[in-house]
């Protein structure tokens, strides 16, 4: 029997949890990035093929779980309202990607050591 050495890898999903549940994961980070890009929860949810209600609930959940809001509403006016990612939201995005990078590096190193 011809046996070739197999290569394995590990995969992880990064979640930052707050005592009452999920706080931040890649989907929520992408929502924040889309809000930043579009200036709107409505447009961000459309870009992600997500219902506005689901996007709004995610924003509320993140804001409730955070010490400071990650997203703030911009009240209407001539051009209508919108939303913006706050300084705390920007910090959360950066933190998430730093943690994800460290986890991916660790899993790659550990995965390279798998021998079955």
Ordered by where they begin, the domains of the chain are 16-110 (1.10.10.10)
Q: Report pLDDT digits (tens) over 29-65.
A: 999 999 999 999 999 999 999 999 999 999 999 999 9
DSSP percent split of the chain into helix, strand, coil, nearest 5? 50, 15, 35
Instruction: Tell me the two tokens of residue 12.
Output: 């992880």
Instruction: Tell me the two tokens of residue 27.
Output: 């989907």
Pairing of strands 82-85, 71-74: antiparallel
Burial class (CB in 10 A: 0-12, 13-18, 19+), 7: exposed
Q: Report pLDDT digits (tens) over 3-27.
A: 777 788 888 899 999 998 889 999 9
pTM (global) more than 0.95: no
């Amino acid at each position: 029997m011809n046996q070739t050495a197999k290569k394995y890898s590990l995969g992880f999903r990064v979640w930052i949890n707050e005592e009452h549940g999920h706080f931040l994961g890649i989907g929520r980070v992408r929502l924040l990035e889309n809000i930043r890009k579009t200036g709107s929860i409505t447009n961000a949810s459309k870009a992600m093929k997500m219902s506005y209600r689901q996007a709004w609930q995610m924003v509320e959940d993140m804001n409730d779980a955070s010490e400071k809001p990650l997203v703030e509403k911009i009240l209407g006016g001539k051009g209508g309202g919108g939303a913006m990612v706050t300084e705390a939201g920007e910090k959360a995005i950066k933190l998430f990607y730093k943690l994800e990078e460290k986890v991916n590096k660790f899993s790659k190193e550990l995965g390279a050591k798998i021998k079955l």
